Structure 1
Amino acid sequence: MRLRVGDDHRLRHHALTMALNARGHTVVATACDPDEAVEAARQHKPDACLLDVSFPHANGLNAIGRIHEVSPDTKVVMLSGSISRGLVADAIAQGAQGFVGKEKPVGVIIEALEMAYQGHLAVDLLMLQEVLRPHPENDDPLWMLKFLTEREWEVMRCIMDGMSTEQMAEQLCVQRSTARTHVQNLLTKLGVHSRLQAAALMTAHASAETWPVHMR
């Protein structure tokens, strides 16, 4: 996995780089602010990017969309000293594939990067449940769709097409066990218990504009 690391803490930055190299990954660039992170993504097209939420004079969240503009396949994982439901929700809504606290051991941060690279949403389970928990002021039945990963949208399409697990695995070029995991992740985010319920939810409330542009 080729990575770009952007962290304002020099010692942690060094420890991360050494640990990533030891696990067979390659750090292709580092950055000290969001603008450098975007430029590094444009030049190197890394598989994953670790980006600090807070820089001295900038907000890392604002760089997520810009990174995806210049390197659409790069998975962005946010690193923060403070974690709240709103902050995590904002990061995911803007396209982050993961969110991890700075207090976590280096190994946990690397696991988040690896999870994101594999297409999973790398967020602590309890925090993810809080983020996905419906709030009284939200009356949009499809509000949770903004948290779906690209892979989960592909799984949704397979479900809407009535594919079996075997057909889905073949379509996505993954193992059946992996396909089942993707389905379960999708159902969890939608707050439903079966593929039939997921399909019914989309049929009742979704339109062509609901889907990502490239899937319409």
Structure 2
Amino acid sequence: MPRRDYQDQLDALRQDICDLGDDVADRLAVTLACYEREDTTAASAVRDGDGEINQRYLDLESDCIDLVALQQPVAGDLRLVTASFKILTDIERVGDIATNLAAYAEDAPFGYAELNLVDLGLVAHEMFERAVTAYANGDVEACREIAARDEELDAMCTEVTDRVIRGLATASGRADIERAAEDVESVLMTVRDVERVGDHAVNVAARTLYMVENDDELLF
């Protein structure tokens, strides 16, 4: 195969993965809007669209495998394909999380607005968007900044978790305790998944840094 066609395949793979990442980021934004507006109308659309994301993931995974098997890339090209394969998986996982959050939103205890769950989600969403952009542009400085931002997100998630558990501890009476426990479970699952979005953003950044500079400092 001519070199130009091979390079076009590499460029198309990267662009298609970025497009998938952008669409997943949009789905996550729609879900967060459900929490912000205390409106679950759009949540079902996010859940219904998960099958399309999964199929695109499988198609792109197949493209990665074909490039390795048929073109036998080496050096920088091999790092691009292998990093893209890993990044693709993280993007698909964020798509799954957006679906999970959409399901939680349908039964969300919106009375917990003071916990700033939307603020948590917006930080994670920004990290993920920046990670996809960093992959698109080969921006290694952004990769390191995303990894540093994850510490802030983790601290925010820990604070919210502590506040929720303290709230449960102050509940009195069987009915209040049971109701509080159900709300706490929903909030904690939301916080856990938001934190996981940040983790996947760091994974994308780590693989991008490795892809561009052969630097594994963020991989472990």
Q: Which is richer in strand?
A: 1
**Considering only CA atoms, is the larger Rg found in Structure 1 or Structure 2?**
2
TM norm structure 2: 0.26
Question: More helix by proportion, 1 or 2?
Answer: 2
